[in-house]
Homo-oligomer: A and B are copies of this chain.
Amino acid sequence: MTTKRKTIKDIAKESGFSLSTVSLVLNNHPRISPATRERVMAVVKKYNFFPNSAARGLASKSSRTLSVVIPNLTRVFSDIYLGEIISGIYERATSLGYKILLDIATAQFVKSQEYTKLLASRRADGMLFIASDIHANYLEVFEDSPFKFLLVNHFFPGKKLNYVSVDYAASARLAAEHLLGLGHRKIGLIAGTNTHTGLKFRDEFLQLCKQWPAGAAKAIWVDGGEEWSQRGGYAAAAKLIAQEPGLTAIMAANDRLAIGAMRWLADNKRAVPEDISVMGVDDIQLAAFVNPGLSTIRHDLHQVGIEACNRMLQLIKGEIEECSDLLPTSLVVRGSTARMRGK
């Protein structure tokens, strides 16, 4: 059997100091002299002692843990989008001394109100929620609640929920201006409609097409499907072209949809960008490697993760009360978009 686990008391006894001195040493409290610190640390090292985190959490009323909730997509982990955000969160959380408690927003997770339980039981000091779609109304329990809650790369119009997100309206503007500026006047949009950010993007984009000073564009749109996948983009492109064969540009709500659309176009003998321009959103790695390179709007999701973490810590520390950050995006022009052919 294991020998009894050491406690702070054992360290105190062996080093000849009081229990509280050891505690202060372990917390790097300036009150303690270097000499004392050293003697205590020698014993700590000797036993490879680490203070019990439950005891610590109980006494200090902080778990030093952040809950991260991701969507319940089957292929969720194969989603580069999430990976970027999570790695940003992990990186920042770790450097701040916080751990990450992972949850997946399954039906069970929602039904058992795990999202409340986690915070009420103080298992986590705050929750970073990446999993939201337009149906996550249960999240409204966090409006005006004492719990620290933050939506990551999402928002709920009309609800007072904190968020840090890329500015989808700005992205829509950049994209529209790029395509319209190239002279396109018949544009097909492959939209994502199961998130509020996706809807925002769609509405903003269509709006701009309608109001373009140099002449309104005809813009039609179809749904790219729940998964925002390459396959969805493939099917959507087919639908768009069937509906309006004269399209000169296709805008997709993300790069995967766009790449799927490009594939359909290639399979159907339409040259990109000669016959038709294609554009995506996100700037995933693959965007640079398809042929032609995909023009897109760059979304720095890693940065979103980092920022979300920063904000969450400010919320926890009480430095801020609420948060609604929109991070800037930028246009990346590659080969898939070109000036409309003069006819």
Interface residues of A (CB under 8 A from B): 2, 48-58, 63, 65, 68, 75-80, 82-84, 86-87, 90, 94, 99-104, 106, 108-109, 116-117, 120-123, 146, 285
CA distance A50 to B112 in the complex (A): 12
* Cβ–Cβ contact A122 & B54, under 8 A: yes
A117 neighbours in B (Cβ, 8 Å): 50
Assembly CA distance A18 to B55 (angstroms): 24
**18 other A-B residue contacts (CB within 8 Å) besides A52-B122, A54-B54:** A49-B120, A50-B117, A53-B123, A54-B55, A54-B56, A54-B58, A54-B63, A55-B58, A68-B102, A77-B84, A77-B87, A78-B78, A78-B83, A94-B109, A100-B101, A101-B101, A101-B102, A102-B102
Contacting pair B104 A102 (CB below 8 A): no
Alpha-carbon distance between A82 and B79 when the two chains are bound, in angstroms: 12
Copies in the complex: 2
Q: Is the beta-carbon distance between B75 and A80 smaller than 8 angstroms?
A: yes
Given that A58-B58, A122-B52 are known contacts, is A80 also in contact with B83, CB under 8 Å in the complex? Answer: no
Residue of B nearest to A55 (CB): B58
* Pairs A–B under 8 Å by Cβ, sample size 21: A2-B146, A48-B120, A50-B117, A50-B120, A52-B121, A53-B122, A54-B54, A54-B56, A54-B58, A55-B58, A65-B101, A75-B285, A76-B83, A77-B79, A77-B82, A78-B79, A78-B80, A90-B104, A99-B123, A100-B103, A102-B102
